[in-house]
Amino acid sequence: MSAMVKVEIRQLPHAEGLALPAYQSADAAGLDLLAAVADNAPLVLAPGKHATVPTGLAVALPPGFEAQVRPRSGLAARHGVTVLNSPGTIDADYRGEISVILINHGDAPSIIRRGERIAQMVIAPVVRAELAVAASLSATDRGSGGFGSTGR
């Protein structure tokens, strides 16, 4: 069983009539976010271009939590459209509208219509670090090996 946390949500006027985010299965990790674009003005996302898509939602996360905005696998697989800054982070003290930066990596324009599922939002606990300046760090087998160094 998953832990539950209460998250207050506000639906902004331009999202009126849209469903609130929802889990699509019993064990889904993410709540689907919908595009709150105008009915008569779908967003045409050309290949190689990106755009910020409104959701018409604002949330009040409790301290110690964040919301991560992640791509939807179906949108990426079918159209090559994904979240540009994936995962996007919504901090607990942010109260503005949640928007999703989508990019079209496909070879054809993608049309984003009102109410279309464009991303998913995962609510997650946050661990904050206390940084301690050190003259040296403990040794490991990997050491300072960077990109690709563990596959050799």
Given a cut of 80, is residue 149 above it in pLDDT?
no
Is 138 within a domain? no
Please tell me the pTM assigned to this model: 0.89
The answer to whether 105 touches 46, Cβ cutoff 8 Å, is no
Give the number of other CB atoms < 10 A from CB of residue 75.
21
Does 104 map to a domain?
yes
Q: Quote the pLDDT of residue 50.
A: 98
Q: Determine the pLDDT at residue 35.
A: 98
115 close to 57: Cβ distance less than 8 angstroms: no
Domain-located, residue 151: no
**Is 21 a member of any domain?**
yes
pLDDT in tens, 14-58: 999 999 999 999 999 999 999 999 999 999 999 999 999 999 999
In a domain, 135, yes or no: no
> Which residues span the domain enclosing 81?
14-129
- Residue 19 belongs to domain with CATH number: 2.70.40.10
In a domain, 141, yes or no: no
Q: How many distinct structural domains can be found in the chain?
A: 1
Q: Is residue 55 part of a domain?
A: yes
> Would 146 be classed as within a structural domain?
no
